[in-house]
Chain A
Amino acid sequence: MRARIIQRESVLEIIDILRREGYDVAAPFRGRGRDTFFDLVTDANKDDVRVHLPNPYYPPKRFVLPHIERMMNIKCDDGGCCVQPETDVTPLAVFGIRSCDVAGIQHLDRFYLDRDFKDVYYERRRDNLFLVNVVCTDIENDIDEMCFCMCADTGPAARGHFDLQLMDLGEVFMVVAGSAKGEKLFEHRIFEKADAAHVEKRREILAGVRRAFKKKVSWFSAAVRLVSRGGVSEQTWEEIGNRCLECGGCTYVCPACTCFTVSDRCSAAGEVERVRIWDSCALSGYTRMAGGFNPRKAVHDRRNRRFFRKLAHYFVQRELSVACVGCGRCENVCHGNIGMPSVVEILRRSSAGM
């Protein structure tokens, strides 16, 4: 069987094991107030790692797709130019990644690795990535009223795509291996045999958590249908667009957004580094072309774009996953209350003629 249990006080030892095996480990910490964040674990901070806490706004996506990433170094002198690509192969584990964010990484895999062109930067990092998923079970801490993973069908317990999955059963945690790499860790003595009672307890707890979600149903699939067949009126898009302040927040907190821009910077004399940086379709410069022509001038054209790209059936089919994982972050950060759940609701109302 691919499941074990681990005593509550031993859970953080998984981090020690991974570090001993050569992984850099990123884990969630609490900052001040509501602030929570993923950071690299060191000897100094390792006791401050939190298993249950509000999911950090800045998604762990950045460990496979850094916000700013150097792609290559270019050296030019009289003898010509030399292009030296740089990929990162440091083994890295993310401890405490939530199910929605696991689904985000699954989406990135589909997008960056499954098409005609493979993204080598993403591939190298992904090959060296180890995911320790934590199922959201602490109703006070893990879940907030914006979470809609149940509607997006990504949580609260991921069905795969992790290496290990932890679930809090009280005195013990249940550990499920999702890959050979994960199962290999079961050789360590902290992992004990699980029995039928544990499995039953897991089922019970999960059922309870499911009941605790505020957003259990959503018109997600109805929204996909509406958007795909062009059934949303220009007026509705304008209503949504009028509420957007073009801060870009929604895209920067999104675990499934993939867009980037590329820029050259001079690093040393005669040396250039080419970097890529997350970009946002919310910003007007995103599509502006030479001569100032912008095919998406109006704000609502840009918002329309974001939701179309995420919900249109064509793309869902192409990537075999939806570019929205139900984490609720965009709803939390948006000043205009037009995160995904709200937009789905607006679309539903508009189609019902309300």
Chain B
Amino acid sequence: MSVTENIYEPKPAVLERVVDEIDEVKTFYWRFIDESEQRRFLERFEPGQFAQVSIFGHGEFPASLPPSPTEGELFFTVRKVGSATSAMHEMGPGAVFGVRGPYGNGFKMESYAGMNLVFVAGGIGMIPLRSCIVYALANREMFGDVKVFYGAREPRGLMYMPLWREYEESKDVECHLTVDKADAEWSGHVGVVGSLFKKRDVNLTSKNTVAFVCGPPVMFRFVIRDLKTLGFSDSQIISTLERYMKCGVGKCGHCCIGVAYVCVDGPVFTYKQIKQLGEDI
């Protein structure tokens, strides 16, 4: 008889370095203490999946995996909102915490081979999308045009800036940034994310294209409206759902909406599926 794996057991991991991303948001680079665990995880995870992070004594929470499997490095980008995330923000290099996963369905990037990809993110909605943007560019020949639209309330709300600066120079990808409110140093576009679609140098069509959209509920609703005006159908729009999660493996029940357990059937869904699930974003 095979021994059942304990799906709830976090594996010890060590924090290597911490980078301030934006206000209240930090990126934590880490690795599993056990080498074989590290290898297993790197081989397994796919863009759009998440992991359960344990800050011992403070609790466990789901966090997206923003790295692409092609980067060979593991990190989380975490916003400080409550007890466990605040405790994580107190941690420095060398600190030990727990991770289990990877979980969820992921974006299944192979199924979009040959298509044009559009990424639209607002604020920290970029965390789950970062993974598939980097993945798409690492497998550039697999896809058609790749366009990134990223907006935040203000310039210091934009995460992963070095990456966008690099992409702005690249011929492989179109990268458009915007802020709702500029500051003295900002010389780029000003306006909500959707306003980027109307920029003169942007030529966005729905033909053979799939749009990945992540961001706060209000932004999501407006972007959906704009994409639909451009001819995108509900099944050409893909997003991730966030729900309160306690287990990540389909047992605790918290994430269950409609007929789906977001942790195992999601978190990635088409907009068509989201509408069928029948709950607010």
Contacts and interface: CB of A to CB of B under 8 A. Distances in A.
Contact of A281 (B8, B82, B253): B253
* A: contact size bracket: 35 or more
B127 to A, nearest CB: 13
Contact of A81 (B9, B12, B259): B12
Nearest to B5: A120
B19 interface: no
Given A71-B8, A120-B7, A308-B258, 7 more contacts: A80-B33, A85-B8, A117-B264, A260-B246, A260-B247, A261-B246, A279-B252
Nearest to A119: B251
Could you tell me the dominant secondary structure of chain B's interface residues?
Answer: loop
B96 interface: yes
Interface string B246-266: 110111111011110000100
A85 B97 CA distance: 16
A123 interface: yes
A259 B252 contact: yes
Contact of A123 (B4, B253, B264): B4
A290 B82 contact: yes
B264 to A, nearest CB: 7
Nearest to B260: A314
A83 interface: yes
Interface stretch (B57-65, B161-169, B204-212): B57-65
Nearest to B247: A262
Nearest to A297: B280
A281 B59 CA distance: 20
A83 B82 contact: no
A102 B252 CA distance: 22
B244 A85 contact: no
Nearest to B98: A83
B90 interface: no
B56 A76 contact: yes
Contacts of B279: 295-296, 301
Given A293-B217, A295-B279, A264 B254 contact: no
B43 interface: no
B81 interface: yes
Given A80-B96, A81-B12, A309-B256, A272 B56 contact: yes
A111 B7 CA distance: 15
Interface string A237-267: 0000000000000000000001111111010
A83 B4 contact: no
Contacts of B249: 116-117
A287 B7 contact: no
Contacts of B73: none
B251 A286 contact: no
Contacts of B242: 289
A115 B265 CA distance: 12
Closest 10 CB pairs of A and B: A259-B253, A290-B81, A117-B249, A314-B259, A272-B57, A81-B96, A120-B4, A120-B6, A74-B56, A295-B280
